[in-house]
Amino acid sequence: MTDLTDLSLAQMRDGLRAKSFSARELAAAHVSAVEGARALNAFLVETPEHAMKAAEAADAALARGEAKPLAGIPLGIKDLFCTEGVPTTAASKILEGFVPPYESTVSARLFGDGAGMLGKLNMDQFAMGSSNETSAFGNVLSPWRGQGNAALVPGGSSGGSSSAVAARLCAGATGTDTGGSIRQPAAFTGIAGIKPTYGRCSRWGIVAFASSLDQAGPMARDVRDCAILLKSMAGFDPKDSTSLDVPVPDYEAALTGSLRGKRVGIPKEYRLDGMPPEIEALWRRGIDWAKDAGAEVVDVSLPHTKYALPTYYIVAPAEASSNLARYDGVRYGLRAGPEKGSLIDMYEATRAAGFGPEVKRRIMIGTYVLSAGYYDAYYLKAQKVRALIARDFEDAWASCDLLLTPTAPSAAFAFGAKSDDPIAMYLNDVFTVPSSLAGLPAMSVPAGLDKDGLPLGLQIIGRALDEEGVLNAGYAIERAANFAAKPERWW
């Protein structure tokens, strides 16, 4: 029999219903895989008891014929999601030891549909990073290896999620995407991941980075698995003022693989100077695959694309500086400073000790652009440019239904290759940030390998609330690409 951890989430679900194996056997196989892969540092907290308890409940429900959609499916939860009774740190020392007394809406929905939690996944601190080198609890390693067996980054900020799914440690995982933090790590590790429309999934109970951008989404082995997970994760939540009160479709049922009657746009501004030829070649193959699936391919223009990164790196840090002001050493988390010092001394010592260098950099940028003398010059102007970027997409929808682009400008790189140059690191998000600023659904699917045998992804962007169209286009690309590569076990 195929190793249970090699099955896709859909195969696990169907196998459980066919009584090919029990939920307890499935959970035990994944618990063992997690324990055997600690060298990856993908999990910050392991919760085998949660997974086994959910498995026992799933077996009982399956025996009664009352199984819920995710009964017995073992998942990993990014450490940005608050989990009741289980430590949640956002991979930062300032929240070390914090145990939430409540459950995030997204994780509660997954568990309510029968899923079990294998543990909390490592990530870039407060979701700030593109390589998982900013976690206060050590780097996550990609299960893929580079030339000369070099250790590679798994992407970020959802690097623990991407590493765990690619290494077959969990059936799927939650991620969050502010400027590309689901899609870029998915591309780096050869898995699928979708950022839904802003407001499609509740942000309640997710540690905030940039509130007008943050959005939860699933990361899994393939497009079908993402569709299954998104159905459970999405939905209106009155506790989140930005949650959209719209019906949640059956995303899995929308996967036909046919793009007949669809127009797929190719934005000319995404052809960057110095883009590796293999990324360009993969993009061209993706265009051919879209045509083969029945789509009409058209050229489109998104003229303000070149302003997207600078706009993002004003808006996101500004919101972060506001959101992270709550970590002051008074109510929860770390407290540092002299016993007889002033309140200001405690604030300064706590934040100096608790926040890492990248978080401090973004807080300082954000505070600067919000300050009295610079608010109009930077933050207000960035908001106006953001509106123009969103309008570019609206104009594009007049001539197309979906957009096809590369996900990232390169394959995964070695640790330290870009960590000394923040601008080089930020450029990892050049293809993912524009759709985040516009709040649009976008997903990455694994589509090929580079010259070193490392995964490359293609990105599909859709209209607001058209996750069905995005997932179906991803499914068509996935079937044509027939991506079957997986990392060789070394851990």
Q: What is the pLDDT of residues 204-258, one digit of tens each?
A: 999 999 999 999 999 999 999 999 999 999 999 999 999 999 999 999 999 999 9
Catalytic member of 107, 142, 161, 181: 181
Q: Summarize pLDDT for 162-204 with one digit per residue, the tens.
A: 999 999 999 999 999 999 999 999 999 999 999 999 999 999 9
Q: Are 443 and 193 in contact (CB under 8 A)?
A: yes
* CATH entry, 4-261+408-481, from 1.10.10.10, 3.30.565.10, 3.90.1300.10, 3.30.930.10: 3.90.1300.10
Contacts of 320 (CB under 8 A, 6+ apart): 126, 128, 209, 210, 359, 362, 363, 366
User: In the chain, which stretches have pLDDT less than 50?
Assistant: 1
Tokens of 455: 């995964």
Residue 298 is encoded by which pair of tokens? 């058209």
pLDDT at 207: 98
Q: Which residues, including other chains, have CB under 8 Å from residue 473's CB and lie 6 or more apart?
A: 259, 262, 264, 290, 295, 402, 404, 460, 462
- What are the C-alpha distances in Å from 119 to residues 76, 125, 191? 6, 17, 20
Cα–Cα distance between 190 and 453 in angstroms, integer? 11
Tell me what pLDDT residue 1 has: 45
The question of whether 239 is a catalytic residue gets the answer no
Quick check: pTM over 0.95?
A: yes
What residues does each domain of the chain span?
4-261+408-481
Tokens of 265: 């746009």
**Active site annotation includes 93:** no
pLDDT at 2 (0 to 100)? 64
Mutual orientation of helices 308-323 and 381-396 as an angle, nearest 10°? Answer: 130
Classify 213 as helix, strand or coil: coil
157 a catalytic residue: yes
The dihedral formed by the CA atoms of 18, 24, 28 and 31, expressed in degrees to the nearest 10: 100
- For 121-158, letters b (16+ CB in 10 Å) and e give bbbbbbbbbbbbbbbbbebbbbbbbbeeeeebbbbbbb
Catalytic residue among 22, 92, 107, 157: 157
Q: Name the active-site residue from 22, 78, 92, 435.
A: 78
